[in-house]
A = this chain, B = another copy of it.
Amino acid sequence: MTHRSLTPSPLSTAPVRQRRKDARPQELLDAALALFVEKGFAATRSEEIAARAGVAKGTLYRYYPSKDELFKAMVRENLSVHIAESAAQAAQYEGAIAELLTQMMRAWWAKVGHGNAGVVCTLMMLEARHFPELARFYVDEVITPSKTLIGGLVERGIRSGEFRQVPLEATVHMLIAPMMHMLLHDHSFGDLDGCGQTMSPEDLLDAQLALLLHGLLAVPQGT
């Protein structure tokens, strides 16, 4: 195990076809995500997905046995990353809870709001009723852990005297809803004129959080 120089570098030796084959699932998933976001699940034809991934109709079915399964795979794939990172975040942060929450929200938005995870959350909300099984998974793996994580932080803040004696559930909702709403609003109406916020999402989020924290803190800071 000391050296593996006998194994040729996979980058150079793998035949083109093999390399493409390995990349296929991700390419299909990406194509699917883009089109599901663009047109919705029902209105996206499986052939379109294949075409966007640069393959023929039949090829898609070599990797995913149905459009439904493709959707599920896409959600799982794009969510699993998010889930793992979320779990990591819970442990690694330290310091004042207000600061912690602000940083977490900013970090989440930076990663999720821009990347795939955000769109996947949006899609999940949109299509949850068609995929109850997947919705269950999403609730168990994403929603509940997130609430637990945030709820735990709020509780810590209350116990440490940093926060007022606020109702937990409502507070958690108030921390989550603004971001989710921005995501959904942007998905549904973002393309229309006159809907864009004058502030950037990041600034808006900061301001919203500041507002809420002002209501949370036992000793409000600043004005």
Interface residues of A (CB under 8 A from B): 38-43, 124-130, 132, 135-136, 138-140, 143-144, 164-167, 169-171, 173-174, 176-178, 180-182, 184-185, 187-189, 191-192, 194-195, 197-199, 204, 207-208, 210-216, 220, 223
Contacts and interface: CB of A to CB of B under 8 A. Distances in A.
Nearest to A213: B215
Contacts of A191: 129, 132
Copies of chain A in the complex:
4
A143 B43 contact: no
Given A125-B184, A173-B204, A181-B176, A135 B211 contact: no
B192 A169 contact: no
A187 B180 CA distance: 14
Given A184-B125, A207-B170, A43 B139 contact: no
A67 B213 CA distance: 46
A83 B42 CA distance: 30
28 contacts: A38-B129, A39-B130, A40-B127, A40-B129, A40-B130, A42-B43, A43-B130, A124-B188, A125-B185, A126-B188, A135-B188, A135-B192, A139-B192, A144-B194, A165-B223, A169-B197, A169-B198, A169-B207, A170-B207, A173-B178, A173-B208, A177-B177, A177-B178, A177-B181, A211-B212, A213-B215, A214-B216, A215-B215
